[in-house]
Amino acid sequence: MYRYDEFDHAFVAERVEQFRGQVARRVAGELSEDEFKPLRLMNGLYLQLHAYMLRVAIPYGTLSAKQMRKLAHIARTYDRGYGHFTTRQNIQYNWPKLGDVPAILDELADVEMHAIQTSGNCIRNTTADPLAGVAADEIDDPRVHAEIIRQWSTLHPEFSFLPRKFKIAVTGSPNDRAVTRGHDIGLRMHRDLQGKPGFEVMVGGGQGRTPIMAKTIRNFLPVDHLLSYLEAVLRVYNQLGRRDNIYKARIKILVQSEGAENFAEMVEAEWLKIRDNALDLPVEERDRIAAYFAPPQYENLSDACPELQAAMAAEPRFAAWVDSNVGDHKQSGYAIATISLKPHGGIPGDASADQMEAVATLAETFGFGELRVSYKQNLILPDVPKADLLALWRALDGLDLGTANAGRISDIIACPGLDYCNLANARSIPIAQRISERFTDLRREADIGEISLNISGCINACAHHHVANIGILGVNKNGAEFYQITLGGVANENAAVGAIIGPAFDEWRIANAVEDIVDTYLSQRRPDEAFIDTYQRVGPQPFKEKLYGPDQARQAG
Amino acid sequence: MALIKHGKLVDDIWHETDDFADVTTLGPVIVDLDTWRRHGAEILALGGRLGLRLKPGQTPDLIAADLHHFDLIALEFAKFTDGRAYSQARLLRERHGFTGELRASGDVLRDQLSFMLRCGFDSFSVATDHQAMAILEAVNEFAHWYQPALDRAATIPNLRRRARAASNDAASGCAATWAY
Ligand code: HEM
Ligand code: SF4
| Whether A109 contacts A10, CB under 8 Å | no
Centroid of ligand 2 to alpha carbon of A421 (angstroms)? 6
Contacts (Cβ under 8 Å, ≥6 apart) of A8? A112, A151, B156
pLDDT in tens, B79-127: 989 999 999 999 999 999 999 999 999 999 888 899 999 999 999 999 8
Ligand nearest to the CA of A183: 1
Q: Is the CB of A46 under 6 A from ligand 1?
A: yes
What mean pLDDT do residues A494-507 have? Answer: 96
Q: Which of A203-217, A525-539, B137-151 has the lowest mean pLDDT?
A: B137-151
How high is the pLDDT of residue B127?
A: 85
pLDDT tens for residues A412-467?
Answer: 999 999 999 999 999 999 999 999 999 999 899 999 999 999 999 999 999 999 99
Interface probe, candidates B109, B119, B147, chain A, greatest A C-beta count within 10 A: B147
Taking 80 as the threshold, does the pLDDT of residue B173 lie above it? no
Q: Which residue has the higher pLDDT, A485 or B132?
A: A485
Q: How far is the CA of A423 from the centre of ligand 1 (A)?
A: 10
Query: What is the per-residue pLDDT across A220-275, written as a single tens digit (0 to 9) for each?
Result: 999 999 999 999 999 999 999 999 999 999 999 999 999 999 999 999 999 999 99
The CATH architecture assigned to A413-555 reads 2-Layer Sandwich (3.30)
Residue-level pLDDT at A81 = 96
How far apart CA B3 and CA B9 sit, in angstroms, is: 6
**Helix or strand run (H / E) with residue A371:** strand A370-373
Which protein residue's CA is at the shortest distance from atom 29 of ligand 1?
A86
> Does B115 touch chain A if contact means CB atoms closer than 8 Å?
yes
Read off the pLDDT of each residue in A142-150 and give the average, rounded to a whole number.
Answer: 96
pLDDT of B135 > 50? The answer is: yes
Domain ranges, ordered by start, for chain A: 6-110, 142-291, 306-398, 413-555
Question: With bands split at pLDDT 50, 70 and 90, how would you rate the model's confidence at A124?
Answer: very high
Report chain A's mean pLDDT, rounded to a whole number: 95
Mean pLDDT for the stretch of residues A295-320: 95
Question: Is ligand 1 within 6 A of the CB of residue A385?
Answer: no
Is it the case that residue B179 has pLDDT exceeding 70? no
Q: What is the pLDDT of residues B27-40, one digit of tens each?
A: 899 999 999 999 99
**Contact, A403 vs A344, CB < 8 A?**
yes
Report whether A349 contacts A454 (CB < 8 A): no
Residue A403 CA, ligand 2 centroid: distance in Å: 26
B60-85 pLDDT, tens digit per residue, is 999 999 999 999 999 999 998 999 99
Are A467 and A498 within 8 A, CB to CB? Answer: yes
Three-state SS for A23-50 is: HHHHHCCCCCHHHHHHHHHCCCEEECCC
Indicate whether A556 pLDDT > 80.
Answer: no
Residue of B nearest to A7 (CA): B156
Q: For the domain made up of A6-110, give the CATH fold.
A: Sulfite Reductase Hemoprotein; domain 2 (3.90.480)
Q: How many CB atoms sit inside 10 A of residue A337's CB? A: 26
Smallest CA-to-CA distance from A108 within A184, A45, A56 is with A56
Going from the Cα of A204 to the center of ligand 2, the distance in angstroms, rounded, reads: 21
Whether B59 has its CB under 8 Å from any CB of chain A: the answer is: yes
pLDDT at A379 over 60: yes
Mutate to test the pocket of ligand 1, among A119, A462, A467, A473 (most ligand atoms within 8 A of CB): A462
A157 vs B59, B111, B119: nearest CB: B119
Domains A6-110 and A306-398 share a fold: yes
Which of A6-15, A202-211, A335-344, B132-141 comes out lowest in average pLDDT?
A: B132-141
pLDDT score recorded for residue B171: 57
- What are the residues whose beta carbons fall under 8 Å from the beta carbon of A499, sequence distance 6 or more? A486, A487, A488, A540
Q: Best interface-test mutation with A: which of B76, B81, B102, B159 has the largest number of A CBs within 10 A?
A: B81
- Mean local confidence (pLDDT), A172-182: 94
> What does the pLDDT average to over A507-522?
98
Query: Is the dihedral angle over the CA atoms A148, A153, A154, A155 positive or is it negative?
Result: positive
CA distance, residue B48 to nearest chain A CA (Å): 32
**pLDDT at residue B175, as a whole number:** 36
A 10 A CB-CB count for A358 gives 19
- Closest ligand 1 atom, residue A182 Cα: 40
Ligand 1 pocket, residue A446 CB under 6 Å: no
pLDDT given at position A400? 94
Ligand 2 pocket, CB under 6 A: A 415-417, 421, 423-424, 456-458, 460-462
CA of A385 to the centre of ligand 2 (A): 39
Task: Report chain A residues whose CB lies below 8 A from the CB of B146.
Answer: 11, 151-152, 154-155
Beta-bridged to residue B3, according to DSSP, are B10, B125
Alpha helices in A379-489 (DSSP H): 389-398, 429-437, 442-448
> What is the band of B172 on the pLDDT scale with cuts at 50, 70, 90?
low
pLDDT, mean of residues A312-326: 97
For ligand 1, the distance from its centroid to the CA atom of residue A460, given in whole angstroms, is 6
pLDDT for B12: 94
% pLDDT > 90, chain A: 92
Of A8, A11, A285, which has the smallest distance from its Cβ to B142's Cβ?
A11
Higher pLDDT, A90 or B135: A90
Query: Are the beta carbons of A348 and A456 closer than 8 angstroms?
Result: no
What order of strands is seen across the sheet that includes strand A168-171? A127-128, A168-171, A185-191, A197-203, A215-222
- Per-residue model confidence (pLDDT) at position B177: 33
- Ligand 2 centroid–CA A224 distance in Å is 37
CA distance B17 to chain A (A): 26
**B159–A11 C-beta distance less than 8 A:** no
Decide yes or no: CATH 1.10.645.10 for domain A306-398. no
The type of residue at A511 is A
Tell me what pLDDT residue A265 has: 98
Q: Counting one residue from A and one from B, how many pairs have CB atoms under 8 Å apart?
A: 94
Shortest Cα distance, chain A CAs vs residue B142, angstroms: 6
* Res. A337: pLDDT tops 60: yes
Homologous superfamily (CATH) for A142-291: Sulfite Reductase Hemoprotein, domain 1 (3.30.413.10)
A396 lines ligand 1 (CB under 6 A): no
Q: Is the CB of A421 under 6 A from ligand 1?
A: yes
A279–B109: do the CB atoms touch at under 8 Å?
no
- Report pLDDT digits (tens) over A338-364: 999 999 999 999 999 999 999 999 999
Strands (E) across chain B are located at: 2-5, 8-10, 15-16, 29-32, 50-54, 72-77, 101-106, 123-126
- Quick one: DSSP state of residue A250? S
**Does the beta-carbon distance from B143 to A10 stay under 8 Å?**
yes
